[in-house]
Structure 1
Amino acid sequence: MNRPADKPLYAVQDIPGKGKGLVATAKIIKGTRILSEQAAIALPFGLPDKERRKIISQQLKTLNNDARNAFLSLQNRFPTKSQYVGIFNTNSLCIKTSTDEGSFVDQAAIFLIASLINHNCENNAQQSWNNNTRRHNIHALRDIQEGEEITLSYVFSLLDRAGRQALLKKSFNFTCSCRLCSLPIRESQRRDGNVQRVAALDEVAKHQRSTAPLQSLQCYHCVLAYHLSKYGREDCEYAQAHGDVATLLVMYGDLARGRYFAQKAASVFRTLLGSDSNEAAEFAAMARDPSRHPQYGFSMKWKTSVDEIPYGLGSADLENWRWERLIPEGIAPFADIPSKEHFVKGGTSKKRHWCFMGEIVKTKLLHPVQLEVKDSGDKKLALHFYSSNTSDTGNSLRPGQYQKGYTVVILDALQYRFEFGCGINQEDLRMMKIFPLRLAKILALNKEVREFSIRHDDGKRKCHGCGAKAAVASMKRCSLCLSFWYCSKECQTAAWTTKAHKTDCKSLRDPDLRGLFFYNWDEAQDSISFPLQVADDSC
């Protein structure tokens, strides 16, 4: 479907309020190459009008009479300029051509048919310049019905209404009145807010690739979610976002997921630009052997082999696998937990879990309870508790349960976007518990328990008193907290006094606190909630 049809799929017709345009003469299926043509006139960007007129005149002389007349019949929205320059500015399309030295130059070009295609911010066709064939191609961005006008977008899709209008007025001297530009003010503002946010996220993702890969991946996840929402679509920005994710994953050694996203990018580019496009070829090559990508191995933090792509998964499980890197590793700060808006639910019952911890800074509201907490990185955020089940009196917080300095622990916490910013909106109180300890104390206890309580690969444990490793059978466990092991009574006494175990022992008698420290966060497990269920032999 990437080759032009034997018979034209369009006809040139008068379009009310627009002059001439192209209209589909039959149903055009998404991905069909509607048109492919060479440039009649091409100029580099940035030339003054006098130079433009001179070059246009020279190139017009090389055209036959029909082509010259076709150029002169094009619309002119710049009557104050010379005729040639006015026609060129009104109808030229952007292309990027290669030089003999291998670099690329931005140019504007006239195509005697494609230049007749009118603008629409919700265009149904995609233009592209193929440097190898030196031809300008038009593909159907979606199915186009018989009798429907074929349209292109002259501007970048991730622009708000004001940005689109300003650019169209400056470059082409007209005001767009398409459906998108004619939305009611509130709806337009809502869409503009999403567009601005996604454009900003895309920039952040690119800048953080080498310093904060997880945050970069989170940004790309939001960008792709936007394209699949009612505000977005599967266009070239959608394809490129998949390619950017592929590059990020390959940078950090994840060849399996890198290949998957590269395959997706190549597939979408083939549909939108043709199988002979540079973009489709680039990502197809990357999918064949992602280890040959020039940025592969920047880090091996996410190392996988190229053949670790799972097969036979349902759509939800496959989506969870694609974005598994976004699942935090155990106890996570707010910045690392997923967004509720874009978190994929469903799939198999087993998955990796995580938890968020935040120390209460102050109480902001009592009904429903709203707290301000700070995480391990000292980031302050809003924490709302709201249960949609108003008849469940047991699923509510009592004032004595929370106070300044206590720490809230939420299992599988998700970021929530409030009007005033991001925080957590916790509905299911079975997924949270408040401990009468400061966050720093809980984190220190977690580190201590992990060092002295977990059985090592050689089957031995470290004595909490003297630090020596010994066989489990030769050690005794604290009978009160069941958390630490000792090689002798003397070691236990030493830990009781020099390591403040007398105080910590009381805290560790809470099975949920112990459960947090002993839970295997790296392993996919069934659903999780408080009270935590942790097998005793894991201790």
Structure 2
Amino acid sequence: MSSSASDPMYAIQQIPGKGKGLVATRKIPMGTRILSEKPIIRFPEAAPDSQKLEASIRRQVDVLTPAQRQSFLSMHNLYADDGGSQELGIIRTNALPFGDNELEGAIFLDACRINHACDNNAQKSWNENIKRHTIHALRDIEKDEEITIYYIAVVNNREARQEAFRRKFAFTCSCRLCSLPPDQSQESDRRLDEILKLDGLIGRDGLMGILSTPLRILRYVDQQICLYNKQGPNDVGLPRAYLDAAQIAIANGDLARARIFTERAATGWTILEGGDSSKVLQTRALSQDPSKHHFYGMSTKWKTAVDDIPGSLDSTQLEDWLWRREKPKQPGQPADLRNRTTFPAFTDLPSERDVDAEFYSSAITGNARSTGHGQPRWHWLFLAEIVDFATLVRLQMDVKDVDGATVPLFFYTDGRGSELAPSQVRKGYTIAILYAQHHAFMFSEPGIRHEEPTKLKSTGWNKNGHKADCKLLKDADLKGLFSLDWDNFERRVEFPLVTGTV
């Protein structure tokens, strides 16, 4: 359903403190196309010649009907005192993006009247297939409710948003989101900051990250979507996040999960842009056969067929399967050394150079970044076998992780590694490091920089060798550690660990 000229869903009215705006004349259901409009004036966003731009605008204004010209010239002009033409000032104030690449701007008589809100109830987009600017309801809009869109590209925290509005549009936003009580506003800002942080982590390593650490990147997307859903329904970032998840699955051969992720992305974009938008049509086609994506075939690590979706799962179980979430440990159940969340390989560890939102619920800044200070979301332990060692300026080791990768480990403790007795530094022994992190050395390949003696333990395995079963550990401290409730973080633990205190 969409609005027609003879029976519009909205009326242009005077809005207190805002000038004119669009108000719903009846209830508008979520996903409804509220308007579909052709531009009356077009112009390039980055015009190389202002005189040519002014001439182009004058020609387009001259051919407008009297009613169109009157409506256009009555629009707000932030630049009336800048010395430019009235027409150019109105365009600079009110233009909306035009074209799929958004390198042009345009004036739409109705859409350009829509006011801003940070908790907007409608979404603007250019539909290249029908060559029109469209507005869709993000949620149900009640009769007599103002229709609002979001003006800027990125949904930042309140302070950053307000600064952008003052700089670009010369107003201070007083929408519901910007008027929340301080505690609720801070919580909203925390979610928005974390969403942006996760966005950077998801895309930081590109395709290489998707192939080398797919589970970690998928967890970032999972966390991001949870934050989007807490922030509000049908956030414009949700479809993009689901498509990110689909690409991770496709690149690793998992067509079953890719199918669900692409279906969800298409559903989200249908609400935002309508079923005839290019994004919806392309994503729906991809959901039918995810193997058509150019990422498919790069890895078969997670290989599934498109129909390999398990049946008889309730909604919670389906989500856990979809996102490859680890099953929570039952009370009294020993830790599972195969759990990559609790016992990560080197490639799964957080990096010291970034605040890793997967591992930490609060920021790590300054000196705390290198020491691992901050609030972990859970406990984790890096386990590796000593394959070589040497002592020059400090103790250094080559250790082999669960994936068989050899990683350099350098001791930057006060004793430069002398805290370990010679009997503990042996090839074949196992190194256990609590809260280990990636470190980028200037003189070596990436590895682990160890600084806190109480966070590392070295122990031997029994005669049966290096087995993935904690019962084989002779060390009493490690036995106690494996009974720890890894998923619930209350305080940092350290060695020596007294059995029975965790």
Q: TM-score w.r.t. structure 1 length? A: 0.63
1:108 aligned counterpart, secondary structure: strand
1:123 is displaced (CA, Å) by: 0.6
Q: Hey, what's the Cα distance between the residues in 1 that align with 2:477 and 2:459?
A: 15
Does residue 87 (structure 1) correspond to residue 96 (structure 2)? The answer is no
Does residue 283 (structure 1) correspond to residue 283 (structure 2)? The answer is yes
Does the 8 A contact of 2:120 with 2:148 survive in 1? yes
Counterpart of 1:311? 311
Q: Hey, what's the Cα distance between the residues in 2 that align with 1:112 and 1:441?
A: 74
Is there any run of 5+ residues in structure 2 with no aligned partner, and where?
328-336, 351-357, 362-377, 384-399, 402-406, 412-429, 436-453, 484-498
Counterpart of 1:179? 176
1:59 aligned counterpart, secondary structure: helix
Does residue 96 (structure 1) correspond to residue 99 (structure 2)? The answer is yes
Structure 1's 358 and 131: CA in aligned 2 closer, same or farther, altered over 3 A?
closer
Counterpart of 1:428? none
Structure 1's 88 and 32: CA in aligned 2 closer, same or farther, altered over 3 A?
same
1:167 aligned counterpart, secondary structure: helix
Q: Which amino acid is 2:339 matched to?
A: G
| Larger RCO, structure (CA 8 Å, separation 6 or more) | 2
Does residue 68 (structure 1) correspond to residue 69 (structure 2)? The answer is yes
Counterpart of 2:339? 330
Does the 8 A contact of 1:78 with 1:173 survive in 2? no
1:358 is displaced (CA, Å) by: 6.4
Alignment of 1:358-437 (within 5 A): none
Does the 8 A contact of 1:90 with 1:173 survive in 2? no
Q: Deviations over 1:62-81 (max 9, x none)?
A: 32222112111111122124
Does the 8 A contact of 2:114 with 2:149 survive in 1? yes
Q: Hey, what's the Cα distance between the residues in 2 that align with 1:339 and 1:314?
A: 28
Q: Deviations over 1:359-385 (max 9, x none)?
A: 9xxxxxxxxxxxxxxx978799xxxxx
Counterpart of 2:265? 265
Structure 1's 329 and 18: CA in aligned 2 closer, same or farther, altered over 3 A?
same
Structure 1's 213 and 510: CA in aligned 2 closer, same or farther, altered over 3 A?
closer
Q: Which amino acid is 2:27 matched to?
A: K
The partner residue of 2:208 within 197, 201, 210 is 210
Q: Hey, what's the Cα distance between the residues in 2 that align with 1:243 and 1:305?
A: 18
Residues matched between the structures, number: 383
Does residue 139 (structure 1) correspond to residue 140 (structure 2)? The answer is no
Q: Hey, what's the Cα distance between the residues in 1 that align with 2:161 and 2:471?
A: 65
Does the 8 A contact of 1:218 with 1:326 survive in 2? no
Q: Hey, what's the Cα distance between the residues in 1 that align with 2:263 and 2:155?
A: 24
Counterpart of 1:441? 459
| Rg larger in structure | 1
1:94 aligned counterpart, secondary structure: strand
Alignment of 1:190-201 (within 5 A): 190-201=187-198
Q: Hey, what's the Cα distance between the residues in 2 that align with 1:180 and 1:10?
A: 23
Q: Which amino acid is 1:17 matched to?
A: G
Q: Deviations over 1:252-305 (max 9, x none)?
A: 111110111000000111122100011111211110000000111222211111
The partner residue of 1:357 within 375, 381, 384 is 381
Q: Deviations over 1:8-53 (max 9, x none)?
A: 1101111011111110011110001110010111111122654432
Counterpart of 2:415? none
Is there any run of 5+ residues in structure 1 with no aligned partner, and where?
98-103, 342-353, 360-374, 381-405, 414-435, 455-480, 484-503, 517-530, 532-539
State the superposition RMSD in angstroms. 3.9
Q: TM-score w.r.t. structure 2 length? A: 0.67
Does the 8 A contact of 1:358 with 1:439 survive in 2? no
Structure 1's 437 and 108: CA in aligned 2 closer, same or farther, altered over 3 A?
closer
1:324 aligned counterpart, secondary structure: coil
Does the 8 A contact of 2:432 with 2:458 survive in 1? no
1:275 aligned counterpart, secondary structure: coil
Does the 8 A contact of 1:330 with 1:355 survive in 2? no
Q: Which amino acid is 1:210 matched to?
A: M
Does the 8 A contact of 1:42 with 1:110 survive in 2? yes
Percent identical residues: 37
Q: Hey, what's the Cα distance between the residues in 1 that align with 2:167 and 2:326?
A: 42
Q: Deviations over 1:84-108 (max 9, x none)?
A: 11111111111334xxxxxx45111
Q: Which amino acid is 2:152 matched to?
A: V
Counterpart of 1:123? 120
Counterpart of 1:254? 254
1:228 aligned counterpart, secondary structure: helix
1:126 aligned counterpart, secondary structure: strand
